[in-house]
Amino acid sequence: MIVSEQWLRDWVDVDLSAQEIADCLTNAGLEVDGVEAVGKPIDNLVVGRVLSVRKHPNADRLNLTTVDVGDQQLEIVCGASNVREELIVAVALIGAKLPNGLKIKRAKVRGIESNGMLCSASELGLEESSDGLIELDPDAEIGMRVDEYLQLDDHLIDIDLTPNRGDCLSVQGIARELNVLANGQYHPLDVGEITSQIDDEVDIDLLESDACPRYFARVVRGIDPKAATPIWMQERLRRSAVRPISAVVDITNYVMLELGQPMHAFDRAKLQGGVQVRFANDGELIALLDDSEATLSKDTLVIADQQSAIAIAGVMGGAGSSIGDDTIDIVLESAHFTRKSVAGTARRYGLHTESSQRFERGVDPMLCEQAIQRASELVLEICGGQVGPVCQSPNQVEIAGKPPVELRLSRLESLLGMSLDAEEVSNILNRIADQVSGGDGQWVVTPPSFRFDLEREADLVEEVARVKGYDNIPVAMPRIAPRSVVGTEAYITDRQVRQALVARDYREAITYSFIEPKLQQAFDSEAPVRLANPLAENMSVMRTSLIPGLVQALQFNINRQRERVRLFEVGASYHNTESGYREVKRLAGVVCGLRCPAQWGVGDAQNVDFYDIKADLDAVLSLTGQPKPIIFEQSTRFALHPGQQAVLTREVNDGTGDEESVVEIGWLGRLHPELEKQFNVNNVFVFELNLETALMARRPSFTTVSRYPSVKRDISVVVDDAVPVAALMRAVEIELGGPLRKVELFDVYRGTGVTEGSKSVSLSLELRFVDRTMTDEEVEALFSSARTVLEKEFGATLRS
C-alpha cells in the first residue's frame, strides 16, 4: 500500500515528519519499505491558459500557440495532440529545468521562435510515459507555480502489510493506525446520506448470502460521459500507483483507496434485469476487463444479471457490462464478500487485483453503505446526473458485532514481563476500540468491526505492546525451570542419522512437500493427496516420496557444474488412507559422481556404484545395534534400474509376544535410464527409508563372557543365484540359536564347477557355549542342523 503523506495528513494531525511517520509504523509492525519524495521545487514552471492554436506553417504535426501565463502572453510551438484553446496547462518558461534534466531555452522550431514548452505529466516526473499534455483543472490560478498547485512537496510512504492487517489497506486505515500509535488528532470523513432524486431501483437477489451477506447498489442516470477526472484525484491515484482511466472508474478506485471498500460500476444499459449474487455454473465463461476470458468453476462466486455472469465477485468485473465512452446511466455496487468466498479465486484465475487483495484479508462489513454514499457524492460532483435510492436485497443478512474480549492486567504483565499502569492501559485500549468497559486491572473490550485480528486476550496484549512500543519492553532472559528429558535407547534420533550421513560426505537438503503431479507419477504410482487450494499447478499434490525433490536438487547442482553430489533429506511423505491422511517420516538420499573427491594419490577415479550407497545405508542402520541383519532383496520399482535395485526388510517384534514379523523398511537402487535421460543426469543412485520402522534399536543388555574356547567351522553351499545371502545367514541363525555366536560371509563364487544360474556361498560359523567346552559331537550336530535347514529352505547342496 502506497500512501501519500499529504493525503494522510488530511485524515490525521501528527507532529511527525514523513520519515518519522514511517519509523512509527515500522516499529509497530507495519513495515515501511521506503519513503520517496514526489518531486522537487521547479522554478519557472507556471500554470498557463492556451488562448489560441494555429497550424505551424512549416510542419504538419506542430502547432503555434499563444499562452497566457499571467504577467505575459507567450508564443510557444507545441506538437501535443490534445492542445486546444482554453486548455489549462503547465508551462515551462525560459530558464526552467525539468526533472528529466531538460533545460528550457529560447529556440527556433522550423523557423518559428518558441518561448517555452507546454509540459506532459511524464516531463514533470509524474508518470513514466504520457500521451499528451497534462490537463489542469479550469479553476487553477493562471501564473501560479505548478509545483505548488500540484502539491509536489509530498512523500510516498510504501507500506508492506502483514496478511492480518487488511484494515490498513486504505488511507483511512493507515490514519486510524497512526492516530492510535502517535496519539494524534483524527479527522474521519463526514459522508452524509445523498437524497435520491429519481425512483430507479435495482432488484438484488442474494442467492448466496453466507458468502455475500451485504450488497448495496444505486442507479445514477444522466452522467456526463465526457467528464474529466479532476487533477487532484488523478494525482492521488497516481501517487497510490493506480492509473487514471475515466471519471467513474477513477471514482470507484479513489473510494477504495480512501476507505478500503472495493467498488464497481456497471453500465445500466448493458444489464439484463436485476442483479444476482450466486455461484457460477460449472464451465461458465466470462470476458473480463483485462481482455482475458475465464472458464469458471462451480465454487466461484459471481455477480450476474438475468442472463450471465457480469463479474467475478471481489476480483474483477466483466467486459460485457463495463463503463464505456458513451455511458450515461450507471449502477454503483458496494458489497461485502467474506474472506472464505474470495480466498484463492484470484490465484486460481491468475487475477491478482487491488480488490481481491483487500477481500482476501478482510474488509469491514459495515463499510459498504458509507462507501456507496461517498461514491455517489463524487459522481454528482464530477459527472453530474441524478441518483436513485440505495437498494439492497430483502434477504440481506444482519451482521453481528464482534464478541467482547476480556483483558487482565496480571496476564498482560505476565506476558510482557513488565509492570504497567492501569490508567495507561485504559488510555491505549480506548484508542484501539470505541467500546471499553471496566478498569483497575480488568477490562472488557469490544473490537471494532474492521479489526478481524482481535479475537482473544493475547491479541489485546499484543496491541498494548505495539502501542506502548516494543523498544520500551525491558530485555530479560526468560525464567525457565530446569527439566530433565528422559532419553530412550530403543530408538535412534534424527540427529544421529544426520551425523552419520554428514560423516560420509553427504549434505542435508530441504525440498518442498508440494510437487507437480507429473513428477509424482514419474517416481511413484501411488495416488497422492491433492491440495484443495494449491499455490500453483506445479505444487498441487503432496509428495509420497522424498526422492523427486532430491533428484530436482541434484539436477540443479549438476547444471551448475557440480559433478559430485551427495544429498540427503529427513522429512515427511503424505498418503491417502481410508481414515484420512497419513504422514510418514522418511530418510532419503541421492548420490552422483565420483566415489571420492579427485586426489593426486589415486590414478583412475571411479564413479559411485550400487554397493557404495548400500554401504552408506549399512552405516546408518548399524546405529540401531540390531543383531539381526537387514535383508537386501531384489525389487521391481518402476522408477529404478531393473538390474540395480533392492528392497530392505528386517524382522521386528510387534510387542504382543515373541513372534516376529518381516517388514519393509526401505529401498535403494540406480535411477531408471529413462528418468536419467529425462533429467539429463547419469549414474544416479537413490535410497529411501521409513524411519518409523528402520530406526528401532536394540536395548543394550549384559551378556556373560564365556571362559571357554569357540569353534569355527566353514560351510560352502551351492544355491540358486536369486537367493539372498542374508536369507541364508538368517536361516542359520534361527536354526542354531544361542550356541551360534557369529555367522559371516567370506566368499561368493560363480564359474567353473558351479552350475550356470547358481552360486557358491561360503559362510564361517563361530560356535561356543557359555558354561562349558563344546564337544566334537555337539559341533557336528550343530553343523548338520545348519546344512539341513539350508537344504530344506533353499535347496542348497554342499559344494564338493
Binding site for Mg(2+), by residue number, is 453, 459, 462-463
Burial of 318 (0-12, 13-18, 19+ CB in 10 A): buried
Question: What is the spatial distance between Cα 769 and Cα 606, in angstroms, rounded to a whole number?
Answer: 45
Across 268-314, the runs of DSSP E, i.e. the strands, are 275-279, 285-287, 293-295, 301-304, 309-312
Question: What is the spatial distance between Cα 722 and Cα 424, in angstroms, rounded to a whole number?
Answer: 81
Residue 301 contacts residue 279 (beta carbons within 8 Å): yes
- Give residues with Cβ within 8 angstroms of 66, minimum separation 6: 50, 51, 52, 73, 74, 75
**Grid cell for residue 631:** 535383508
Question: In the 3-class helix/strand/coil scheme, how is 677-724 assigned residue by residue?
Answer: HHHCCCCEEEEEEEHHHHCECCCCCCCCCCCCCCEEEEEEEEEECCCC
**Grid cell for residue 78:** 507545441
Residues within the annotated binding site? 453, 459, 462-463
Question: What is the spatial distance between Cα 498 and Cα 509, in angstroms, rounded to a whole number?
Answer: 11
Residue 302 forms beta bridges with which residues? 278, 312
DSSP SS3 for 513: coil
Question: What is the spatial distance between Cα 263 and Cα 246, in angstroms, rounded to a whole number?
Answer: 15
Question: What is the spatial distance between Cα 408 and Cα 411, in angstroms, rounded to a whole number?
Answer: 5
Q: Which of 794, 677, 776 is nearest to 731 (CA)?
A: 794
Question: What is the spatial distance between Cα 784 and Cα 726, in angstroms, rounded to a whole number?
Answer: 20
* 422-432 helix and 171-182 helix, angle to the nearest 10 degrees: 170
DSSP SS3 for 284: coil
Rg (CA), the chain: 39
Residue 39 contacts residue 125 (beta carbons within 8 Å): yes
Give Cα 210 to chain centroid, integer Å: 27
Question: In the 3-class helix/strand/coil scheme, how is 243-258 assigned residue by residue?
Answer: CCCCHHHHHHHHHHHH
Locate cell 509504523: which residue? 25
Residue 111 contacts residue 84 (beta carbons within 8 Å): no
Q: How many residues does the chain have?
A: 800
Under DSSP, the state recorded for 622 is G
Under DSSP, the state recorded for 700 is P
CA distances (Å), origin 755, targets 566, 726, 748, 759: 40, 21, 14, 8
Question: What is the spatial distance between Cα 403 and Cα 450, in angstroms, rounded to a whole number?
Answer: 13
Residue 714 forms beta bridges with which residues? 764
Pairing outcome for strands 275-279 and 204-206: parallel
Burial of 481 (0-12, 13-18, 19+ CB in 10 A): exposed
Give Cα 347 to chain centroid, integer Å: 11
Question: What is the spatial distance between Cα 478 and Cα 217, in angstroms, rounded to a whole number?
Answer: 56
Across 578-659, the runs of DSSP E, i.e. the strands, are 580-592, 631-634, 640-653
CA distances (Å), origin 226, targets 85, 140, 222, 229, 499: 17, 20, 12, 10, 74
In the chain, DSSP finds a helix count (H) and a strand count (E) of 21, 40
- Give residues with Cβ within 8 angstroms of 446, minimum separation 6: 401, 402, 403, 404, 405, 433, 434, 435, 436
**Grid cell for residue 733:** 541363525
